[in-house]
Structure 1
Amino acid sequence: MATGRLPRPSSGGHGAGYAGPLAGSDGLLAGKEKETMQNLNGRLASYLHKVCALETASGDLEVKMRDWYREQRPGPARDYSHYLRTIEDLRDKIPGATVENSKVVLQIDNARLAAGDFPTKFEMEQALARADLQMQIGGLKEELACLKKNHEEEVSVLRGQVTAEKNRKDAEAWFTSQTEELNKEVAGHTEQLQISKTDATKLRRTLQGLKMELQPQLSVEAAVDGPLAETEARIAAQPAQIQALISGLEAQLSDVRADMSGRTSRTRSTSSSWTSTIKLQSKSENLACALLENDDLGLALKSSD
């Protein structure tokens, strides 16, 4: 079946044919009509492009159909004899293949039955192996516990030995250091003791010399003790005498003051009274100084007399 190819219109010709009058009427249209015409021109141009694409696809399809019809056209008769011989050989081999296939099917059935027994056997062997392994694990756990216990006991014994050895070494080091310090202290004390003995000997000799020097002074002190006791007794009795003297002087001073107030017209008497008053005040001051200075008490009494 052959078909004639459709004539392909020119896109430029159609576009020019439709667009010419529309373009010429642009001057007559305005506003919305102009925009509407522009939209119509755009749609027409896209339609023409689609028509051209469809014409191209239709031409390609015609070429493919023509080629297919050309290939399917009947040709001269072919020789299939060698194919027939091959077919006969294959038919002769079919019975033998059928027997072999039956054998294979039988083997497969036997294998399937054996495979069905395998899970049971596997489960039994697995259970036996699991029980054996559990027994072995139990024995190993007991052995491990025993080994741990023995190990802990050995570690405890070794730790005690190490601690004892460490304590012994520490005690030995401490004893050695203390012994060295004591030896140094003993040496220093021995030297100090020797020096102290020497100093004690010197002090003993000095003490004996001082005792010999002190013996004459003790004799002098014994000779002085008698007059000193008498002097102390006399000095102890002097404050009472001084107090009596002060009382008498104060009485005289009071009398003088009374005389002074009664004899204001007599100048001489007043002068003599003032002289007596001054003397009495001087004696009072001397007595006060004598009380403050016990060492010069005897001299103060002589001056007051």
Structure 2
Amino acid sequence: YQLLQAVSHHSLLSISLSHQRGRVLPSELLRRPPSVCGGAGGQSVSISRSSQSMALSGTGGGFFFMPSISSAPNGKEVMQKLNERLASYLEKVHTLELANSSLEQNIREWYKQQTPMPRDLSEYERTVASLQDQFDASNQHNTQIVLQIDNAKLAADDYKMKYDSELSMRQAVEADTVGLKKLLDELTFAKNTLDKQVEELKEERLSLKKNHTEVRRWHQGTTINVEVDAVPGVDLKSAIAEIRAQYEEAVERNQQETEFDDLNQQVSSSTEELQSGRSQLAELKRTIQSLEIEVQSLISLVSKQALEGSLHETEQHNYTQLSELQNLINQLEAELAQLKGDASRQDEEYKALLDLKTRHELEIQEYRRLLDMEDKRVSNEDQKKINVSSQIRALYL
């Protein structure tokens, strides 16, 4: 059947093409009667005029025009041969048309006789519809699973981002703790240094008191004796100068007031860092609360056991971090209280040293006043002695 159909289709196509070409080309050919030369069946045909000639070439019973410039001396013979060939060609075309119509009639009759009976496909359609419904349900279920997986991945990514942020905050707090420990060590070292300086100042105070007592005793002894040599006066001035030098050295050491101010600034900065740690702890608590709310909202999307395990791990991790942060805050508060106590104690010691400095300044001013009075008295007595000696010399003279 397929072979017959292919043969009929090829025959119809060949006949129709040949028929069309045969109908067109002879009319065109007859419009140009002067001269024709050529052939059929793969040969070329040329039609010549006095001014222009057209060449027709055909393959397999077909023609096409091709311009050529030629002059044929035997135009009548060529025209006669061409007319004969054209007549035979038209006869063949007519024969093929009849054969084609007969073949078409046979094909139509065969199709009428061989028309297949319609088959009942309702059972197959029901099966296909059921399978299509199952396929759609599977696709919908698969889409829901993919959506749940995507939501779980997004939740996991969110937890990971929050874990990274909390880890970075924890590292920052640990770095701040290390810095505070270093600051505490520096403050402890400064406190020890100040304690040593206080002890040294106390020793210097005792030595100054001792020197002051000795000078006072010596001064009292010099007030009783009127005839004082110049040498003890010089010794008194040197002693006062020595006391003054010692006092100036004590004053230079007391310039550590600026260091005390630095300590106060460090204590205040430690307090600010403690407040920052507390604010970070509050922020972490708020973050944990928001995470718990998100976990509650994600329970309906992800399996309950996985969420409970993840929630337990998150709570355990957050509880561990909160415990560490609380211990760190307690430690920082204890260190801050110790620093405040040390600062207050150093403030009291500084005030005591300042009072001692004031008393020493008053004593030095008193010493200066007494020395000035003593110098004036000695100079007056020397002047009186000079006047008496001059009067005695005048009397003898």
| TM-score, scaled to structure 2 | 0.24
Larger radius of gyration: 1
Q: Relative contact order, CA 8 A, sep 6+: which one is greater?
A: 2
Greater helix share, structure number: 1
Greater strand share, structure number: 2
